[in-house]
Structure 1
Amino acid sequence: MSELRKSNTDLPYFITLTVVDWIDIFTRQAYCDKTVESLNFCIKNKGLIVFEYVIMPSHINMIAQSLDGNLNFILRDFKSFTAKQIIKEIGENQQYESRSKWLLHMFEFNAKYYRQNAKYMFWQKTNYPIELNSAHIQYQKTEYIRNNPVEAGLVTDGEFWQYSSANPNSPLRTSRM
């Protein structure tokens, strides 16, 4: 995540991780669960701090920071690992994924333009980091995350979206800002 190399690493960031071509991949619980497992691993073992998050059908928004100032490396590893895991799941469980051939084709097509991608490209390269250097910006981005599923017409209240810090029963444990 080269966008963070010249940034203040002592502050939290609003980050958007987007699937290539805005493909709705997180409509399957299995892919969301793998993503949450990986985030929880990064929290427990890599020093990731997640304050707010939401997993939308085609992207993830979060407010995050790292204990050691290496957020860019944590996100790089997270994106690499989740991409491999989800693509593997798509390939191995084609009987459950009706879009498997199309999805794999799209990920392969997107990889053609980047040398570092061996066969597939799952995530867009940029994470669009926004430094949260004021209480106003923190509040604005927190509200955006919590209301994103509502604004998208997926639920009537942000607390009803399973993969969100707005949900009191969220599978991802977040920290207080």
Structure 2
Amino acid sequence: MSLEDNSIAERHACYYLTFNVVDWIDIFVKPVFKQIIVESLNHFIAKKGLTVHAWCLMTNHLHLIAQTKQGFGLSLLADDFKKFTTKIILEDIVAEPEIRRNWVMKKFEEASIAMKLLDKFQVWQTPVNSVYIDLHDEDMMNEKIDYIHYNPVRDRIVSHAEDYLHSSARDYIGIKGLVNVSIADEKLGSTSIIRYMSSYRR
């Protein structure tokens, strides 16, 4: 079941989401652009009814395990998040001394033309990649959380998942991270999450 075709009753379900930058452009290398995502996630959590159970920001994509509170549809919220972050990213590309500025802006413009969109620039690919997660399926939830948190390890950025600042891995071992996540043990139960946490530093 995709995010786009879910029923009204399932709009508040939990999904594993991936937001990809067009042409896999490495936007999230500089701290200023990483901070845009951190602040935007916290804004949507505080003001827009978003619940984030896990996240990881890589150089050209963002992974989330998320759902929404009653009254908020996740598909519309994902679109809103893309629009919200696009505006700030474009503003900062223009304002920051970005060496690749002209090249990046041209790529964003070409992507918008290729997708036949009204906006002049397109930062995110569309649609958002989504996989439904059954909150009662502990193995599936742990598998997705594991996959998200070990992205930086697989890419050899860090040796241990919790050493990567721009993810929720450290939240799952009791260290407060950058984003106000809701730890999945609220849904899975303490036994599952203790088993998951014990797998770190292996």
Q: How far apart are 1:27 and its partner, in Å?
A: 0.5
Task: Look up the equivalent residue of 1:176 and give its one-letter code.
Answer: I
In 2, Cα distance between equivalents of 1:159 and 1:151: 13
SS of corresponding position for 1:131: strand
Q: How far apart are 1:169 and its partner, in Å?
A: 4.2
Of 61, 79, 82 in structure 1, the residue corresponding to residue 82 of structure 2 is 79
The farther-off stretch of 111-120 and 36-45 is 111-120
Native 8 Å contact 1:20 1:121 kept in 2:
yes
Partner of 1:124: 125
The farther-off stretch of 6-15 and 68-77 is 6-15
Gaps of 5+ in 2: 185-202
The farther-off stretch of 65-74 and 39-48 is 65-74
Task: Look up the equivalent residue of 1:157 and give its one-letter code.
Answer: H
Native 8 Å contact 1:146 1:166 kept in 2:
yes
Q: How far apart are 1:98 and its partner, in Å?
A: 1.1
In 2, Cα distance between equivalents of 1:13 and 1:88: 30
Matches within 5 A, 1:1-177: 3-7=3-7, 8-68=10-70, 69-93=72-96, 95=97, 97-133=98-134, 134-167=137-170, 168-177=175-184
In 2, Cα distance between equivalents of 1:46 and 1:5: 21
In 2, Cα distance between equivalents of 1:117 and 1:141: 34
Misfit runs of 4+, over 4 Å: none
Task: Look up the equivalent residue of 1:144 and give its one-letter code.
Answer: Y
In 2, Cα distance between equivalents of 1:26 and 1:169: 22
Q: How far apart are 1:11 and its partner, in Å?
A: 2.5
| Cα deviation 1:47-94 (Å, max 9, x = unaligned) | 00000000001000010000025011111111001011101110122x
The farther-off stretch of 104-113 and 165-174 is 165-174
* Larger-Rg structure: 2
The farther-off stretch of 83-92 and 7-16 is 7-16
In 2, Cα distance between equivalents of 1:101 and 1:116: 20
In 1, Cα distance between equivalents of 2:127 and 2:139: 24
Q: How far apart are 1:30 and its partner, in Å?
A: 0.5
SS of corresponding position for 1:72: helix
Q: How far apart are 1:40 and its partner, in Å?
A: 0.6
Q: How far apart are 1:3 and its partner, in Å?
A: 3.4
Query: What percentage of aligned pairs have identical amino acids?
Result: 32
Task: Look up the equivalent residue of 2:182 and give its one-letter code.
Answer: S
The farther-off stretch of 15-24 and 2-11 is 2-11
Task: Look up the equivalent residue of 1:124 and give its one-letter code.
Answer: Q
